[in-house]
Amino acid sequence: SSELTQDPAVSVALGQTVRITCQGDSLRSYYASWYQQKPGQAPVLVIYGKNNRPSGIPDRFSGSSSGNTASLTITGAQAEDEADYYCNSRDSSGNHLRVFGGGTKLTVL
């Protein structure tokens, strides 16, 4: 089965730009989706597909992909963006199995 790799922790100064990355072979065939999770809460979808944001997600969140790496970029990080972020994609086997990255803890300084 596939694996997705994320950096365990990333920090960013308030108002600055941060990129969170996700690497895995499945990303050569499938898009990553990104989820924000705050303590005690359910995950929330923030980016999916090529670079799509669900309704209500601020436009400071954007996504991109190149080769086996997907990235979530927060331009002008806010205090409320401090959270865990998870990437997810379909398994490279081509069926409906899914795989999550290990998650990245984002700290806004």
| Residue numbers at the binding site for other proteins (CB under 8 A) | 1, 29-31, 33, 35, 37, 42-45, 48-49, 52, 54, 84, 86, 88-90, 95-103
Q: Which is nearer to other proteins, 73 or 76 (CB)?
A: 73
Min dist CB 11 to other proteins, Å, is: 19
- What secondary structure letter does DSSP report for 63? E
Q: Which is nearer to other proteins, 30 or 61 (CB)?
A: 30
Phi, psi (rounded to 5 degrees) for 70: -110, 150
Min dist CB 15 to other proteins, Å, is: 28
Min dist CB 20 to other proteins, Å, is: 14
- What secondary structure letter does DSSP report for 30? S
Q: b/e per residue, 60-87, with b = 16+ CB within 10 A? A: ebbbebeeeebbbbbeebeeebbbbbbb
Quick one: CA dihedral 42, 97, 47, 55, positive or negative? negative
Min dist CB 52 to other proteins, Å, is: 8
